[in-house]
Structure 1
């Protein structure tokens, strides 16, 4: 049986948010295994499962933030190979509005890499704030 280093797993999850705050999406995504999957549960337009390459393409596609997201980690709970992080994210948008959303991320970690992420968030708010204004006739 492999011993799990819970402190190291929590540090890895925290590093993910630290890198995003530093505008280092490539560094943050480098923490994911090559075959990692990122899932947003539900039935919304933003729900589904993405590969690491899909997540990278999303970041490279130009999100409508005027500055990197700033995160406030409210809770970080770890057990076994999982780290659950309740976090609040804020950033100004390029159109001058403020983005402010709440998340619960469930990271599964093995061998020092993030193997999967389940992201629970207000997808309706995200769609209205990030996607809808970009669509023809939106915002």
Structure 2
């Protein structure tokens, strides 16, 4: 397994464990996230602080912290600086509805840090489970 793949898996382990310092350490200061759709987390989030305190915080703010929140990587492969990851994520929304998503993310790693992620998921499910009244 390449060091780029190991870094991205370290990031996912930190997400699953809620290890904020390791999450922050995995991202380059100028890192960015793109998420499709028309959701509170959609668009481009530029810079490590926006990725963590914007994108991730906004996503987690829609989840019920009293219920199980899970992330499990199901596939990872890559070449060079790019890593593709498939994962399952599950939770209960603050709406009270169940959330279970299959995601794909394309990560770019340079100099031992994540510099970009493009995430693809079922945005309609995200909205129905976590946003819609």
TM-score in same-fold range (> 0.5)? yes
CA contact under 8 A between 1:37 and 1:115: conserved in structure 2? yes
Q: Distance in 1 between matches of 2:73 and 2:109?
A: 18
Aligned to 2:38: 44
Per-residue displacement from partner, 1:31-55 (whole Å, max 9, x unpaired)? 11000010113x5334311022222
**Could you tell me how far apart the structure 2 residues matched to 1:92 and 1:129 are?**
8
Equivalent residue pairs, number: 127
Structure 1 residue runs of 4 or more that deviate by more than 4 Å after TM superposition: none
- Structure 1: 5+ residue runs without aligned partners? 1-5, 133-138
Counterpart in the other structure of 1:56: 52
Shift of 1:26: 4.4
Structural RMSD (CA): 2.1
2:2 alignment partner, SS class: helix
Mean Cα displacement is larger for which, 105-114 or 65-74? Answer: 65-74
For 1:1-139, list aligned pairs within 5 A: 7-41=2-36, 43-45=37-39, 46-51=41-46, 52-58=48-54, 59-60=56-57, 63-67=61-65, 69-132=69-132, 139=133
Answer whether contact 2:107 2:118 (CA < 8 A) is retained.
yes
62-71 vs 121-130, which moves further? 62-71
User: 2: distance between equivalents of 1:27 and 1:131?
Assistant: 29
Question: If the length of structure 1 is used for normalisation, what is the TM-score?
Answer: 0.78
Unaligned runs of 5+ in 2: none
TM-score, normalised by the number of residues in structure 2: 0.81
Structure number with bigger Rg: 1
How big is the shift at 1:56?
2.2
Q: Is the 8 A contact 2:32 2:51 kept in 1?
A: no
Give the deviation of 1:71 after TM superposition: 1.8
Structure 1 residue matching 2:51: 3-state secondary structure: helix
